[in-house]
């Protein structure tokens, strides 16, 4: 009989536990050494906020740690949440679930111990979503375990400043071509400024009112969600536009370019629309609602006046395409090879060749209807999982 090596014995005795406060220093060091030194997520305030999530009691679930002889050899981020699921009976079911953003395992433990960490997530969450997935590692497991996969969120983009947008482009484009694009969209004469005190309860009521009738699969955006994810964010200062009782809500932020390689762009401003909740509902006829269109174009006017060079919005559904088209947006995914769409994928730090934000979801409930959910009936945006938090 062959004898096991010490390393094989360590693998046999590895265990999975939940993260606790007492683990913080060791977790920080593990991330520092095995992913990236001094990543913002190593700031405890940001780490605690991101993994708090919503819909669960404090301490009910937390990131997973893989231990071997008391040493951390693996980490799996966990962001708990509530999800709304359309069922074949026409009802919307609210279910506990979550996303698992960061999966780090020491090289010598990337066999069965790492797989056990993955399977533990599926046991914890009957509904699981993922975004920004590594196509060479985690994506293979997602596909094997029945996740529905979208290779990239639809990224709708719009120039707000002719010369500024030209400066952003990796390939040369004449100003007249950019001007022609900018004049094709409807513009509101009335600027819409951000709210000073967003009302999470009213926004949650709007969300349920407009998303439930159209059977949208998504995070259940109750008042706790809005408070946690945006109003009390430890990552960014999010801006709320609109009236939830009249025209809908847009959540956005201004992002400053950070770049040492393209110093001419360093400090320039980009307008990122993160959430777009139309007052008319998620029907593809939302573009016929003048109040929602005026909200969108009024917000864009505000961003233009603030000096933003361009705007973008990313979403898993194409239901927004018509109303965004009226405002002048185009889906970058459809024109990737055209020079006028050669804008950066990331702005902090600025990168032109980063992979688009992919997405996946899995619903482990026994209902035939769930398997028929298509991407147009989903609402996953840039802030899904850990995708909209500081990276630098």
Is residue 380 within 8 Å of residue 359, measured between CB atoms?
yes
Taking residues 19-44, report their average pLDDT: 96
157-179 pLDDT tens trace: 999 999 999 999 999 999 999 99
Taking residues 128-144, report their average pLDDT: 93
Are 7-150 and 154-355 equal in CATH topology?
yes
86-134 pLDDT tens trace: 987 778 999 999 999 999 999 999 999 999 999 999 999 999 999 999 9
Q: In this predicted structure, what is the pLDDT of residue 3? A: 44
Fold entry, domain 7-150:
Aminopeptidase (3.40.630)
Confidence class for position 187, pLDDT limits 50, 70, 90: confident
Question: What's the CATH code, domain 154-355?
Answer: 3.40.630.30
276-335 pLDDT tens trace: 999 999 988 888 889 999 999 999 999 999 999 999 999 999 999 999 999 999 999 888
- The domains of the chain are located at 7-150, 154-355
Is residue 220 within 8 Å of residue 82, measured between CB atoms?
yes
């Amino acid at each position: 009989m062959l004898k096991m090596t010490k390393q094989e014995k360590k693998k046999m005795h590895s265990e999975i536990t939940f993260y606790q406060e007492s683990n913080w220093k060791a977790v920080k060091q593990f991330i520092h050494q095995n992913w990236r030194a001094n990543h913002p997520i190593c700031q405890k305030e940001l780490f605690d906020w991101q993994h708090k999530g919503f819909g669960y009691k404090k301490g009910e679930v937390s990131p997973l740690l893989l231990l071997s002889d008391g040493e951390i050899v693996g980490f799996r981020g966990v962001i708990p949440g509530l999800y709304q699921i359309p069922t074949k009976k026409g009802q919307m079911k609210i279910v506990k679930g979550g996303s698992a953003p960061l999966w780090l395992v020491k090289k010598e433990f990337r066999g069965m111990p790492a797989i056990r960490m993955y399977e533990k997530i599926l046991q914890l969450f009957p509904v699981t979503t993922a975004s920004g997935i590594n196509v060479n590692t985690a994506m293979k497991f997602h596909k094997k375990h029945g996740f529905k996969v979208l290779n990239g969120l639809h990224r709708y983009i719009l120039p707000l400043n002719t010369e500024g947008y030209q400066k952003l482009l990796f390939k040369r484009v004449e100003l007249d071509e950019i001007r022609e694009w900018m004049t094709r969209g409807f513009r509101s004469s009335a600027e819409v400024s951000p709210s000073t005190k967003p009302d999470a309860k009213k926004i949650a009521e709007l969300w349920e009112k407009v998303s439930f009738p159209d059977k949208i699969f998504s995070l259940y955006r109750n008042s706790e969600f809005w408070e946690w994810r945006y109003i009390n964010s430890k990552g960014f200062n999010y801006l709320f536009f609109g009236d939830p009782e009249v025209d809908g809500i847009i959540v956005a932020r201004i992002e400053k370019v950070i770049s040492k390689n393209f110093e001419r762009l360093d400090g320039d401003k980009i307008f990122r629309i993160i959430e777009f909740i139309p007052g008319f509902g998620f029907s593809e006829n939302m573009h016929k609602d003048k109040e929602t269109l005026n909200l969108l174009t009024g917000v864009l006017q505000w961003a233009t006046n603030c000096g933003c060079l361009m705007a973008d919005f990313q979403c898993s559904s194409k239901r927004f395409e018509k109303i965004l088209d009226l405002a002048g947006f185009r889906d970058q995914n459809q024109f990737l090879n055209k020079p006028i769409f050669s804008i950066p994928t990331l702005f902090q730090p600025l990168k032109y060749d980063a992979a688009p934000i992919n997405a996946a979801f899995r619903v482990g409930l026994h209902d035939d209807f769930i398997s028929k959910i298509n991407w147009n009936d989903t609402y996953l945006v840039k802030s899904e999982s850990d995708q909209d938090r500081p990276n630098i």
